[in-house]
Amino acid sequence: MKRVSNRIAGAPLRLLLAVFLSLALLVPSFAFAQSSQYPRFDRGLTKKEEKWVQDTLRKLTLDEKIGQMFMADANAIFMNRESEAYKQLAHRVTDNKVGGVILFRSDVWATAMLINRMQGLAKLPLLVSADLEMGMGMRLDDTPWWPPNMAVAATGDPKYARLQGEVTAREARSIGINWLYAPVADVNNNPDNPVINVRSYGEDPAAVGEFVSAFIEGAQSAGAMACAKHFPGHGDTATDSHIGLPVVDADKSRLDKLELVPFRAAIARHVGSIMSAHISLPRIETEAAAPLRVLNAAERENAEFVSQTEANAPRVTKPATLSSKVLTGILRDELGFKGLIVSDAMSMAGVSARYDSATAAVEAVKAGMDVIEKSPDIDAAIRGIREAVRRGEITEARINASVERILRAKAALGLNERRLVDTGEVDREVSGPQSNAVAQEIAERSITLVRDERKLLPLKLGKSSRLLNITFADDDPTFTIQPFVSELRRRELQVDSVTLDQRAGEADVKRLLERLDARAFSDRAADRFDAVIFSVTVRARSGKGSVALPPVGSRLADELARRDLPLIVVSLGNPYLLTAMPNAKTYLTAYSPFPVSQRAMVRALLGEIDVTGRLPVSLPGLYERGHGIEIRRARILGTDR
């Protein structure tokens, strides 16, 4: 069929976005950093700021100092001032004197209003953090997700990581978030890793370090503090630390050559903070971990995950978060890191399944921790540290060292001078066309064609072309395949779409295959599908425990692959899925199920963009890192570019 190349709905909008994007890429520093009203984080303190730090530290009581070492957690959604959620957060700020707040599921306007309110209640300005690895959408429900780090790395160009950090920091600061828990500096060299996966920039330590450095440069030049995580490296695990205590059986020589490379790069780029990993390193820390325990009622209510499924392996040792050999010995003394060390959420089972809140906090501080994030019981944790100081187990000088680092970070962020945000500017800064155009460009540059043995791509379709999209969906209802299907239909294609997930049974698979066979092998050519797309949205997610294709998905993949179909397999998530369906003849990956990636995948399938992405990881037994088949529009259209 003759390929239709001039029927692209929304062309004026795309042209506008392209103009915005070109400006952003040509002059990113002018477009973003120079317009920021916030000071650069990566600079020395002025004499005035230094005086504020020392004067403030000198006036604080022991309890106030200990409070500064905690980050209270909150969902920034509308809260009536008499609600229990509001009262609890206000208690943390006014009574516990916490040094900051970490946000989880939130909304833009509510964040700006709530943070201003809490900053007004706080004696000292608050650090406000969020896990914004994939743009604002990762924590703010009314903003778009950006492509994940592995997609950024698939572009092959670190400038996109710099823009990723720069845009995220600028938008975050406009609503009161001043501390980005990003970038992920883990090297994902384990294909079965259930929690890092596409959150990593890839499996090559040097390349990961380059992209990590670029993100840090972008974020900190735009006025936010970046955080390299999860030290000393959570990439080579098959256990999620949200639900168990992973073991990384690596010696120091291996860490030096692999896991520590991106962290060294981050430190060289003056990253403001580094987050610890709840992982066991038996060749580094030999002290046995505490046994599994029963959580009390308060901890069960506040724990992120309470599953205690990991086996009591004989070499499970004290997690890195609680290890002085890791935090002080390696990170401080050997690598020379002088910024903030912050824990991963202490509510995660990697710590909370074995240590109560007070014990965990005390052990973390003794190990060298500055900031304790999301303790299941902050009141108990603060009491534990206070009692440890009184009995001489922790010196007040040790507390002072952490609090001074915290105050220096606040001064570097300009919080001693200005802690409130201008809510009148929020809708000018967040999720604007220019920012969204950068995210879309990254998604489009990331699409990676891994295999196309039947030369099906780009699809050559006309208005009467018929497509069948079969989606195998993850059990996460956040993302549907609707953007993908809608984009196809906007091109006036006739698209049938059906979705199955891991709850599907044999009868569901049988009905789908019968429907497919009736059309695909019909005697009437007009009834047949011109292409069958098998789109898979399985992705890594905290607490899920696996990134494998569930058995029903594997069965469906096998059945589709053995049929003589114009079949295209599309991974909108875990790029390693080709190893579960090695007989697929055509395979592309977009690294995420986010709408920005779904739109990019449609454009790639239809030949509307160049396909130039390269795998940042190897697919075991199939393809090496760096593999990717290019499709250039110039070649398709017979023109030069």
**What does 522-549 look like in DSSP terms, one character per residue?**
-SSGGGS-SEEEEEE-----TTT---SP
Residue 33 predicted with pLDDT over 80: no
Q: Is residue 20, in this structure, part of any structural domain at all? A: no
Listed in sequence order, the DSSP H helices in 326-431 are: 349-352, 357-367, 378-390, 396-412, 426-429
Instruction: Say if residue 216 is in the same domain as residue 351.
Output: yes
Instruction: Say if residue 506 is in the same domain as residue 607.
Output: yes
Instruction: Say if residue 582 is in the same domain as residue 498.
Output: yes
The per-residue pLDDT for range 315-347, each reduced to its tens digit, is: 799 999 999 999 999 999 999 999 999 999 999
Question: For residues 118 and 126, is the Cβ–Cβ distance under 8 A?
Answer: yes
User: Residue 497 belongs to what H/E stretch?
Assistant: strand 494-501
Of the listed ranges 187-191, 272-276, 479-483, 584-588, the least confidently predicted one is 479-483
Answer with the residue of higher pLDDT: 464 or 209: 209
Which residues, other chains included, contact 100 with Cβ-Cβ below 8 Å and sequence gap of 6+?
70, 71, 72, 126, 127, 128, 129, 179, 371
What pLDDT band is residue 477 in, cutting at 50, 70 and 90?
low
Instruction: Say if residue 468 is in the same domain as residue 401.
Output: no
Q: Is residue 279, in this structure, part of any structural domain at all? A: yes
Q: Are strands 100-103 and 127-130 parallel, antiparallel or unpaired?
A: parallel
User: Which pair of structure tokens corresponds to residue 174?
Assistant: 């406009």
Instruction: Say if residue 632 is in the same domain as residue 553.
Output: yes
The CATH number that applies at residue 575 is: 3.40.50.1700
User: Which pair of structure tokens corresponds to residue 93?
Assistant: 């700020």
Expressed as residue numbers, the domain containing 407 is 41-425
Q: In whole angstroms, what separates CA 394 from the centre of its chain?
A: 34
- Provide φ and ψ at 549, rounded to 5°: -70, 120
Q: What pTM does this model have?
A: 0.91
Q: Is residue 90, in this structure, part of any structural domain at all? A: yes
Q: Is residue 35, in this structure, part of any structural domain at all? A: no
Q: Is residue 88, in this structure, part of any structural domain at all? A: yes
Sheet containing 567-571: give its strands across. 448-452, 586-589, 567-571, 531-536, 466-473, 494-501
The per-residue pLDDT for range 164-173, each reduced to its tens digit, is: 999 999 999 9
Instruction: Say if residue 500 is in the same domain as residue 580.
Output: yes
Instruction: Say if residue 406 is in the same domain as residue 460.
Output: no
Total structural domains within the chain: 2
Which residues, other chains included, contact 638 with Cβ-Cβ below 8 Å and sequence gap of 6+?
none
Tell me the one-letter amino acid at 393.
E
Separation between Cα atoms, residue 209 and residue 213, nearest integer Å: 6
Instruction: Say if residue 205 is in the same domain as residue 108.
Output: yes
Instruction: Say if residue 514 is in the same domain as residue 418.
Output: no
Tell me which DSSP letter residue 580 carries.
G
Question: For residues 326 and 350, is the Cβ–Cβ distance under 8 A?
Answer: no
Look-up: residue for tokens 């920005």?
596
Mean of the per-residue pLDDT values of the chain: 89
Listed in sequence order, the DSSP H helices in 447-561 are: 482-490, 506-520, 551-561
User: Which pair of structure tokens corresponds to residue 499?
Assistant: 């979705």
The CATH number that applies at residue 183 is: 3.20.20.300
Last residue of a domain, one of 376, 393, 425: 425
Instruction: Say if residue 329 is in the same domain as residue 200.
Output: yes
Residue 384 predicted with pLDDT over 90: yes
pLDDT given for residue 476 in this prediction: 66
SS (H, E, C) 48-111: HHHHHHHHHHHHCCHHHHHHHCEEEEECCCCCCCCCHHHHHHHHHHHCCCCCEEEECCECHHHH
pLDDT given for residue 153 in this prediction: 98
Q: Is residue 435, in this structure, part of any structural domain at all? A: no
pLDDT given for residue 44 in this prediction: 86
Residue 9 predicted with pLDDT over 80: no
Instruction: Say if residue 311 is in the same domain as residue 252.
Output: yes
Last residue of a domain, one of 369, 390, 425: 425
SS (H, E, C) 27-51: CHHHHCHHHCCCCCCCCCCCHHHHH
What pLDDT band is residue 10 in, cutting at 50, 70 and 90?
very low
pLDDT given for residue 39 in this prediction: 78
Mean pLDDT value across residues 61-88: 97
The per-residue pLDDT for range 75-133, each reduced to its tens digit, is: 999 999 999 999 999 999 999 999 999 999 999 999 999 999 999 999 999 999 999 99
Residue 13 predicted with pLDDT over 70: no
What pLDDT band is residue 304 in, cutting at 50, 70 and 90?
low
pLDDT given for residue 587 in this prediction: 97
The per-residue pLDDT for range 414-435, each reduced to its tens digit, is: 999 999 999 999 999 999 999 9
pLDDT given for residue 194 in this prediction: 78
What pLDDT band is residue 479 in, cutting at 50, 70 and 90?
confident
Instruction: Say if residue 500 is in the same domain as residue 409.
Output: no
pLDDT given for residue 315 in this prediction: 74
pLDDT given for residue 37 in this prediction: 63
Q: Is residue 396, in this structure, part of any structural domain at all? A: yes
Instruction: Please state, as a whole number, how many other Cβ atoms lie within 10 Å of the Cβ of residue 329.
Output: 16
Residue 35 predicted with pLDDT over 50: no
Highest mean pLDDT out of 33-47, 48-62, 472-486, 540-554: 48-62
Q: Is residue 479, in this structure, part of any structural domain at all? A: yes
Answer with the residue of higher pLDDT: 622 or 236: 622
Which residues, other chains included, contact 259 with Cβ-Cβ below 8 Å and sequence gap of 6+?
186, 187, 205, 232, 233, 235, 236, 248, 250
At residue 372, the 3 state secondary structure works out as: strand
